[in-house]
Structure 1
Amino acid sequence: MKKIVLITLFVSSMFANDIIIKQSSYSVDKTMQNIKDILNAKGLNIFAVIDHQKNAKNIDMNMNESKVIIFGNPKVGTKFMNENMASGLDLPLKIIIYKDKDSKVKLAYRDGTWLKKEHGLSSNKLINKVSNALNNITNKAIK
């Protein structure tokens, strides 16, 4: 029972505008490293990591830790863009890892179904593959 409660607590996700939010049991940096390790193991390209807190400090502003990783697989993204070039506005994929106002570390990303709805993409199989991959990557990173 305790294990179920912990799993529910750590893997709880909210669907709001197809944004999935999960709580991590690790720091922002450790969660980010976990995601990088998983992406590298899967052979996905990491295009950039943006440190929002560092950028805020550079202009003498404060904010909680917040980092975005931008990644993807050009073979998949190209298929989406060949169907609707405007989908490139939302590709490559992104995951944000941040410390919220209660100092809890969370990550968030848009579900693949959002990409389908937003850009009128027709490949259910490919969208489901992206959604499942994002879910698996993030679940592994936070446990």
Structure 2
Amino acid sequence: MIKNISLALVTLIASTHALALESLITVESHYSAKETADRFESIIKDKGFTVFARIDHQKNAAGVNLTLRPTEVIVFGNPNIGTQLMQCNQLAAIDLPQKALISEDADNKVWLSYNNPQYLKQRHNIAGCDKVMNKIAAALNTLSIAATSKPL
């Protein structure tokens, strides 16, 4: 009995961890963290998105005599798309505007991460809004790939 409970607990922890990993989509960048953030900001502005904030956590850490690898968050949105998501479920507003995290890991690899729209759909029990969810997913994918990939 205890063996079955232990196995069930390990399975639950493993599946919970897997779900947590799937809540973010992360793309490796071929550029430095600063260049990736600059590229992402430029691309989203060119596409008509509003940049509400760009937060440089490394700079803020240095301001209190702490060190942090490059870590920036860009807060951005498009009311035409975001409003449609909030019309599906107004609670989605807690996750809007969208955010992109650009960070450098301990191996000096740079990553661009954002919330998986499917995670937001599940989190807010959004039903009947697949068209807008697919539009958001496609836009975020296109923007992140454009900011992180080298031209062919």
TM-score by length of 2: 0.80
Instruction: Report the alpha carbon displacement of residue 104 of structure 1 after superposing the two structures with TM.
Output: 0.8
1:100 alignment counterpart: 105
Selected match of 2:40 from 1, 11, 35? 35
Cα distance between partner residues in 2 of 1:85 and 1:28: 33
Please give the secondary structure, in 1, of the residue aligned with 2:58: helix
1:45 alignment counterpart: 50
Selected match of 1:132 from 123, 132, 138? 138
TM-score by length of 1: 0.85
Cα distance between partner residues in 2 of 1:81 and 1:59: 37
1:38-77 superposed matches below 5 A: 38-77=43-82
Give unmatched runs, 5+ long, in structure 2. 1-19
1:9 alignment counterpart: none
Instruction: Report the alpha carbon displacement of residue 116 of structure 1 after superposing the two structures with TM.
Output: 0.8
1:141 aligns with 2:147: yes
Instruction: Report the alpha carbon displacement of residue 83 of structure 1 after superposing the two structures with TM.
Output: 3.1
- Consecutive aligned runs of 4 or more in structure 1 exceeding 3 Å deviation: none
Query: Root-mean-square deviation (CA), in Å?
Result: 1.4
Cα distance between partner residues in 2 of 1:124 and 1:95: 22
Cα distance between partner residues in 2 of 1:59 and 1:35: 27
1:81-118, Cα deviation, whole Å (9 max, x unpaired): 23322211110001100110111111111111111111
